[in-house]
Structure 1
Amino acid sequence: MPARKRGSLTDHLADSDSFARLADQAERLRQLQALLDAMLPIHLATAARVANLKRGKVVIHADSGAVAVKLRQLGPRLAAGLNQQGQEVSGIEVRVQPGRRISLPQQKILPKELGIRPKQSLTSLAAGLPDGSPLKAALERLLATTRE
């Protein structure tokens, strides 16, 4: 039996007409997603996904109703921007489809910088407050997270 030549997944998909159409559609959706990500602010881009392209209309899934409302407001501008990028888009349809949430990496909280004099003033203020005082507790937490 002759050895079969291994090809890439793209090569295999291109061999069949139905898979070729599917691969073309997937590539168009990937391009639309990249363009949409570039056009939207980060908080909207992480909550919106291109779901389909039907008869020139881009279907976008939003993670929440609030995101969907904003995307609908931006719809005509997004369609015009996609057309300027060479995509044939007649409109934008937005659907709420909660699900996948991309969590952004947690930013490391750096200690606050506080000068020597302000730190000494806050330390003496905290020392003069009665034990159990909410202000004293807050000042002690603040002083514990600061550096000079």
Structure 2
Amino acid sequence: MTSQKINVYFDMLGESPQYKNILSLAHRLYENQLAFAKLVPANLAPYCYLSKINNNELTVIVKNGAIAAKLRQVSPTLLDKLQKLGWKITSIHLLVQGNFFQDKVDFFDKQRYIKKIIFTHAARKSLSEFVTTSQDSELIRAVKSFLQKHESNPIQFHVKK
């Protein structure tokens, strides 16, 4: 389904009485998130999501304490900018929720920094020679065990680049 068809579908749903309020709220939240992301420093934006505005307090979900500390430093300036845009808020509350970002940011970070290495037959042979020519030790026993477990299976390692 193309994005145009989805937008038409959402527009039609937005006109029905039972979905009008929820879709209006979702649209407003989306617009607010876009505006907020433009005001937050670019390096923090992917790790900050608006949650709610309640009693003139804006709650922002952040990935970790480091992001919260950085955002706390710029929060007076951010609060001033938001008020100039007409937002009726007097404070910003930061809520650290690392698991909220697991699917959103970590996936992209992992894809960017992980490289697959395949354990080839030549590597297996080299390890076997290493084991047979070395004195018995904890390392040699671990390598022997590894080779026995993965005798016939191709092995893929995921390592950071």
**TM exceeds 0.5?**
yes
- Given the two structures, how large is their TM-score scaled by the length of structure 2? 0.53
Is 1:38 aligned to residue 28 of structure 2? no
Extract unaligned runs of 5+ from structure 1.
Answer: 1-6, 108-148
- 5 Å-filtered alignment, 1:9-88, equals 9-16=10-17, 19-88=19-88
Coordinate RMSD, CA, aligned:
2.4
Superimposed CA distance per residue, residues 48-77 of structure 1 (whole angstroms, 9 cap, x where no aligned partner) = 111122233221100001111222232222
- Shift of the alpha carbon at 1:47? 0.8
Q: Secondary structure at the match of 2:25?
A: helix
- Shift of the alpha carbon at 1:95? 0.3
For the residues of structure 1 that align with 2:41 and 2:90, how far apart are their CA atoms? Answer: 22
Q: Secondary structure at the match of 1:94?
A: strand
Percentage of pairs with the same residue:
21
Classify 1:66/1:60 alpha carbon distance in 2 versus 1 (closer, same or farther; 3 Å): same
Query: Number of matched residues?
Result: 100
Q: Secondary structure at the match of 1:79?
A: helix
Following TM superposition, the consecutive aligned residue runs of length 4 or more in structure 1 with deviations greater than 3 angstroms are 104-107
Kindly indicate which of the two structures has a greater share of residues assigned to helix. 2
- Shift of the alpha carbon at 1:106? 4.4
Superimposed CA distance per residue, residues 17-56 of structure 1 (whole angstroms, 9 cap, x where no aligned partner) = 5x32222222222122112211122221011111122233
Bigger Rg, which one: 1
Classify 1:48/1:84 alpha carbon distance in 2 versus 1 (closer, same or farther; 3 Å): same
Indicate if the aligned counterparts of 2:57 and 2:93 stay in contact, CA closer than 8 A. yes
Indicate if the aligned counterparts of 1:29 and 1:53 stay in contact, CA closer than 8 A. no
Classify 1:39/1:46 alpha carbon distance in 2 versus 1 (closer, same or farther; 3 Å): same
Classify 1:56/1:31 alpha carbon distance in 2 versus 1 (closer, same or farther; 3 Å): farther
Q: Secondary structure at the match of 2:93?
A: strand
Indicate if the aligned counterparts of 2:14 and 2:24 stay in contact, CA closer than 8 A. no
Extract unaligned runs of 5+ from structure 2.
Answer: 1-7, 114-161
